[in-house]
Amino acid sequence: MKEKEKKYGLNTLAIHAGYDKDKETGALALPIYQTSTFAFSSVEEGANRFAGVESGYIYSRLGNPTVAVFEEKVAALEKADAGLAFSSGMAAVSAVLLGLLRTGDHILCSKGLYGCTFGLLNLLKDRFGVEYSLCRMDGEASLLEALQPNTKVIYVETPINPTLELVDLSMISKMAKERGILTVVDNTFMSPYLQRPIELGCDIVLHSATKYIGGHGDVVAGVVVGPKDIMDNLRLTTQKDIGGILAPFDAYLLVRGLKTLGVRMDRHCSNAQEVAEYLSKHSKVNKVYYPGLPSFSQYDLATRQMEGYGGVISFELSGGFDAGVRMMNQVQLCKRAVSLGDVDTLIQHPASMTHSVIPIDERKAMGITEGLIRLSVGIEDVSDIIDDLEQALSKA
């Protein structure tokens, strides 16, 4: 973050960090540098850029001005030194894990992960000999028991997708630091507006920017932020050489989306709170998982660690899976779709959709029952969302 930006609040940074105006034209909206390559004014200039003795662009896989603004903005919001943008959340996750781990290392993960992250861990284990284990991380004792002498990274989602179980980030970052282990947090469910793991002592934060960062359901992207030395290393290795980079137009959409992050997140939170309270009183609903309900088992931790409870709710219908299918087939305003964090309300069934690649026993251990439904509450009028759920539930 630039020195003069340090005094700004998150809403100001979301609009202004990383870009002032175009130096040549004064264009206030971010220009889309839709170019694959950059012309050098001399051979010497090209050689100096390749040698790293002169700054400047070379080729868009190695850096692009539109993409750089997005990277800087997310880094400013997450209070990180630097950021790297990717073509998807999974490109970001794989660049981080491949960049930090080598054969023989162990990675300790929260018990509950996005399905494809789980798939990637298995690929790393089977093909590259990187061991992983899953741990509930519900206290220092369970973490101590799960740590191994070769643990190099602790990787957590919090809230965990889709059960919304939380991990105490201050607790794990402290234990990791004492042992020289890096902590990586997938902050997709919260966005930097609601949770900033680096301020809680964690090292690296990543996002599926497809979700709240973009916010409008029109781009698939990922971003990683953290200490400059680690980001520089990832930029020159797994970002450059694997090459899952972000396109300039997508970076433009993300920068545009980020400008309204705060107002969107406030509305996601207030709508989700009302919907969660409505669902928790409904006779056909067995259980509601939402960190903002005082009945949520980790409500105190949520209140301490997060600046809002987020927009995602999971719930179980008393009629089980069949009732869930009936209900999901009745919704009209809420869209039957995976993903989350869009301005539109989305409803999905993790066991058959986002988490279907996880074997059923593992899924059960993660708390993903067959009848669990996940709702990503949008920013429509909340009364319309509740009316739609009411008519769908009446037929469940």
Active site residues: 61, 114, 186, 211
Instruction: Give the interface segment with ligand LCS, choosing from 87-95, 230-238, 283-291, 314-322 (CB under 6 A).
Output: 87-95
In the numeric block, the tokens 């042992």 are attached to 179
Kindly tell me which residue out of 170, 286, 339, 356 binds ligand LCS, with binding defined by CB under 6 A.
339
Residue type, 208: S
Instruction: Give the interface segment with ligand LCS, choosing from 98-106, 338-346, 362-370, 379-387 (CB under 6 A).
Output: 338-346
In the numeric block, the tokens 């509950």 are attached to 112
CB atoms within 10 A of CB 126: 9
Is residue 326 classed as helix, strand or coil in its secondary structure? helix
Instruction: Give the interface segment with ligand LCS, choosing from 82-90, 227-235, 281-289, 328-336 (CB under 6 A).
Output: 82-90
Closest CA to 238 of 366, 396, 72, 120: 120
Query: To the nearest whole angstrom, how small is the minimum distance from the Cβ of residue 241 to ligand LCS?
Result: 19
Query: To the nearest whole angstrom, how small is the minimum distance from the Cβ of residue 157 to ligand LCS?
Result: 5
| 106-110 vs 131-135, strand pairing mode | parallel
274 phi/psi in degrees, rounded to 5: -65, -40
Nearer to ligand LCS, 157 or 316 (CB): 157
Kindly tell me which residue out of 19, 33, 70, 114 binds ligand LCS, with binding defined by CB under 6 A.
114
Residues 6 or more apart from 211 whose CB is under 8 A from it? 89, 188, 189, 191, 339, 340, 341, 342
Query: To the nearest whole angstrom, how small is the minimum distance from the Cβ of residue 379 to ligand LCS?
Result: 18
| 346-348 vs 222-226, strand pairing mode | unpaired
What is 213-278 written as a DSSP string?
A: TT-SS----EEEEE-HHHHHHHIIIIIIII--PPPHHHHHHHHHHHTTHHHHHHHHHHHHHHHHHH
Nearer to ligand LCS, 63 or 222 (CB): 222
Query: To the nearest whole angstrom, how small is the minimum distance from the Cβ of residue 281 to ligand LCS?
Result: 27
Is residue 298 classed as helix, strand or coil in its secondary structure? coil
For residues 149 and 179, the answer to whether their CB atoms sit within 8 Å is: no
Nearer to ligand LCS, 65 or 226 (CB): 226
Measured CA to CA, the distance from residue 78 to residue 238 in angstroms comes to: 22
Indicate whether 271 belongs to the interface with ligand LCS (CB under 6 A): no
Nearer to ligand LCS, 64 or 158 (CB): 158
For residues 100 and 145, the answer to whether their CB atoms sit within 8 Å is: no
- Per-residue contact string for residues 351-370; x = within reach of ligand LCS by CB under 6 A: ---x----------------
Nearer to ligand LCS, 93 or 182 (CB): 93
Bridge partner residues of 205 (DSSP): 185, 225
Instruction: Give the interface segment with ligand LCS, choosing from 75-83, 89-97, 142-150, 279-287 (CB under 6 A).
Output: 89-97
With the CA atoms of 285, 287, 291 and 296 taken in that order, what torsion angle do they form, in degrees rounded to the nearest 10? 130
Nearer to ligand LCS, 217 or 248 (CB): 217
Residue type, 154: I
Kindly tell me which residue out of 83, 89, 248, 378 binds ligand LCS, with binding defined by CB under 6 A.
89
Residues 6 or more apart from 214 whose CB is under 8 A from it? 221, 253, 254, 257, 341
The interface with ligand LCS within residues 144-203 (CB under 6 A) comprises 157, 161, 186, 188
Nearer to ligand LCS, 64 or 348 (CB): 348
Total residues at interface with ligand LCS (CB under 6 A): 18
Nearer to ligand LCS, 65 or 291 (CB): 291
In the numeric block, the tokens 């660690």 are attached to 305
CA 189 to each of CA 113, 192, 209, 221, 329: distance values in angstroms, whole numbers, following the listed order: 12, 10, 10, 14, 25
Query: To the nearest whole angstrom, how small is the minimum distance from the Cβ of residue 104 to ligand LCS?
Result: 26
The interface with ligand LCS within residues 194-253 (CB under 6 A) comprises 208, 210, 220, 222
Q: Which residues bind ligand LCS (CB under 6 A)?
A: 88-90, 93, 114, 116, 157, 161, 186, 188, 208, 210, 220, 222, 338-340, 354
